Amino acid sequence: MLGLATAAAGVETIRLTMSSSHPTSIPWVGALKTHVIAESNKRLEAAKSNYRIEWNEAFGGVLYNFNNTLEPLAQGVSDMGWVGALWEPAKLPLQNIMFATPFVTSDEEIAIDVMNKLNDTVPAMQAEWTRHNLVFLGATVSDTYHLFTKFPIKSLDDLKGKKIVAGTAHATWLKAIGATPVAAGLPAYYQMLQTGVADGTLIISTGAYSFKLFEVAPYITLVDLGVTTIGGLAANGNTWKKLPPDVKAVLGKLGREYSTVHAKEVKARVKGSIDAMVAAGSKISSLSEADRKRWIDAMGNVSKEFVASNSAKGIPAADIMKSFMTEMRARGAKPLRNWDEGL
């Protein structure tokens, strides 16, 4: 998609497409527009670059849907965009490490810092992107997970046999408590809940509010399973190679800033989202500490399973898990379970 056009004043225009399967109402998509795109030409001008970028914005599933975010970028259908790792557990298993470590932190900024550091310093993490012809620019994070259901939840037992829609990577969490996981992307949740395809969803509050899921699943049960990094901003490898060095420098810096910017936005939106849903008539309760403990115990040692499956592929997964948990604790995270023990 990369194209160049020379302007009369000697400034060259680079045409790039920025894309996402989700709309800009979602913080990690909105920041692609409000920070990366909005700041790119300002930064290039400030750097006295001879280049400017003409952006083609393809958000909200214009080019592809939620479960097909990796291939279009890898193939050059788009130049840059959000890759949803939570729907790519086979191709991006290490990017899904937080789905194997629930109840570790509820702080979005800590999660972003750790995942960016691992992607910067661990060759196996970097290789997940490069083998798919992608250049990693910055991690994305969601707020913590809660349950939104069409029925009240008094205990975990109420979820047995219920169809709960969530991301592919959430299946292990849901199976542990006897629920039936149904994989889908946020844009499809409302209709699935409305039509009875699902009885509820395990979802972030900002997403539930943005997509008005509280209208069809009015019972909110606060669980706080922890925040998760869910993918990242990436560029097509061929496009990246063709970009001038000063453009790469600007976009690389913006990509890393994007991580922090949208993490702060997610954090700022959480309380407001829950308050707004309650004001609209949602009924809110909290899962008991005993049931949270039951849930984490029911999962078994999901981190050990994560390590075993990745170690079988020649990946130093045990070392990565230990580094991940060490970095989390060093930043002040207080895990309910130390997932690096007993590996």
Task: Write the pLDDT tens digit of every residue in 105-132.
Answer: 999 999 999 999 999 999 999 999 999 9
Q: Residue 17 maps to which CATH number?
A: 3.40.190.170
pLDDT at residue 8 greater than cutoff 50: no
On whether both 253 and 182 belong to a single domain, the answer is: no
Q: Is residue 343 part of a domain?
A: no
Determine the pLDDT at residue 1: 46
Interval 244-287: pLDDT, tens:
999 999 999 999 999 999 999 999 999 899 999 999 999 999 99
On whether both 104 and 191 belong to a single domain, the answer is: no
On whether both 34 and 104 belong to a single domain, the answer is: yes
Determine the pLDDT at residue 3: 53
pLDDT at residue 5 greater than cutoff 70: no
Alpha-carbon span 181 to 140, nearest angstrom: 23
* Radius of gyration of the CA atoms of the chain, in A: 20
In the chain, how many domains are there?
A: 2
Give the long-range contacts of residues 177-180, CB within 8 A, separation 24 or more: 177/294, 177/295, 177/298
Contacts of 220 (CB under 8 A, 6+ apart): 146, 147, 148, 205, 208, 214, 274, 277, 278, 282, 283, 284, 285
On whether both 296 and 324 belong to a single domain, the answer is: yes
On whether both 217 and 247 belong to a single domain, the answer is: no
On whether both 196 and 258 belong to a single domain, the answer is: no
Check residues 37 and 89 and name the one with the higher pLDDT. Answer: 37
Q: Which domain holds residue 95?
A: 3-141+230-270
pLDDT at residue 6 greater than cutoff 80: no
Which of 30, 86, 87 lies closest to 57, judged by CA? 30
On whether both 107 and 182 belong to a single domain, the answer is: no
On whether both 159 and 187 belong to a single domain, the answer is: yes
Mean residue pLDDT across the chain:
94
Which of 8, 16, 7 lies closest to 244, judged by CA? 16
Does residue 148 contact residue 220 with C-beta atoms inside 8 Å?
yes
Q: What percent of the chain has pLDDT over 90?
A: 90
pLDDT at residue 78 greater than cutoff 70: yes
On whether both 288 and 155 belong to a single domain, the answer is: yes
Chain CA centroid to CA 334, Å: 21
Interval 88-105: pLDDT, tens:
989 999 999 999 999 999
Q: Is residue 337 part of a domain?
A: no
